[in-house]
Amino acid sequence: MYGLVFDIAHMLAGGMVVVSFLLLYQDRLYALLNTYALHALLLALVVSWQAYSHDAPHLYVTAGIALIFKAIIIPVVLHRIIQRLGIQRTIEQVLGVGLNMLVGVLLVALAIIVMLPVTAASEALVREDLIFALSIVLLGLLMMITRRNAVSQVVGFMSMENGLVLAAVGASGMPLVVEISIAFSVLIALIVIGIFLFRIRERFDTVDVQAMDAFRGERP
């Protein structure tokens, strides 16, 4: 667990945080989806490296699920949806990009401050993984609340889920049944969200969630 093994694991998981920042930064939908695919690909790499270094073959299944579902199917489906919706492909952000990144940095700092004392007894890799995972979850949440576009909120949600998988894998690995059921629930969520996107689009001619607020009689 030292030397190269640790460094590679560290680099891959850290890479996920960096990609999370990229997600936060993107303001075009296709680029956002590509970045999300990269995020999921990195997750698959992290998990398979964990499987290799800990000699835990069932984690390869987790990695496979991450690769197939999250890195390939979900981005492709979302691409198609956007194409068929024919929506405007720039994203309005609530905060400016600079402020957004600054808040993101603060969130990562918070994750470090919280996690370091809590996990003092654990081994180094677990501590790193948990910190990265919490950062990714917080960044995903931040993305969900700073975007007005429904598609980018979906991407934020999916990246949060990646963070959770990272935490589970880093801590002790999770049972395969749980992992498979989570993967399927994410897929089903994708289907439901996709249908909703079409419905929203049909009714409002946009997927900007502000339109829904206006429809409910709220102030925009």
Return the exposure string of 92-119: e unless at least 16 CB atoms fall within 10 Å of the residue's CB, then b.
Answer: ebeeeeeebeeebeebbeebeeebeeeb
Q: Which of 47, 67, 138, 186 binds other proteins (CB under 8 A)?
A: 138
Q: Does 127 bind other proteins (CB under 8 A)?
A: no
Rounded to the nearest whole angstrom, what is the least distance from the CB of residue 23 to other proteins in the complex? Answer: 16
Rounded to the nearest whole angstrom, what is the least distance from the CB of residue 55 to other proteins in the complex? Answer: 31
Pick 76 or 99: Cβ nearer other proteins = 99
Q: Which residues are paired to 90 by β-bridges?
A: 28
Q: How far apart are CA 147 and CA 152, in angstroms?
A: 7
DSSP class of residue 90 equals B
Q: How far apart are CA 148 and CA 206, in angstroms?
A: 11
Q: Does 113 bind other proteins (CB under 8 A)?
A: yes
Q: Does 101 bind other proteins (CB under 8 A)?
A: no
Q: Does 213 bind other proteins (CB under 8 A)?
A: yes
The mark string for 150-189 relative to other proteins (x by CB under 8 A, - otherwise) is ----------------------------------------
CB 44 within 8 A of CB 25: no
DSSP class of residue 119 equals T
Pick 39 or 148: Cβ nearer other proteins = 148
Q: Does 195 bind other proteins (CB under 8 A)?
A: no
**Span of 75-83, 125-133, 180-188, 209-217 interacting with other proteins by CB under 8 A:** 209-217
Q: What does the angle CA 165 – CA 187 – CA 61 come to, to the nearest 5 degrees?
A: 50
Q: Any idea how long the chain is? A: 220
Q: How far apart are CA 22 and CA 102, in angstroms?
A: 13
Q: Which residues are paired to 93 by β-bridges?
A: 147
Using CB under 8 A as the binding criterion, the count of chain residues that bind other proteins stands at: 19
Q: Does 5 bind other proteins (CB under 8 A)?
A: no
Pick 110 or 195: Cβ nearer other proteins = 110
Pick 50 or 93: Cβ nearer other proteins = 93
Q: How far apart are CA 36 and CA 30, in angstroms?
A: 10
Question: Given the rule CB under 8 A, which residues bind other proteins?
Answer: 94, 107, 110-111, 113-114, 117-118, 138, 141-142, 144-145, 148, 209, 212-213, 216, 218
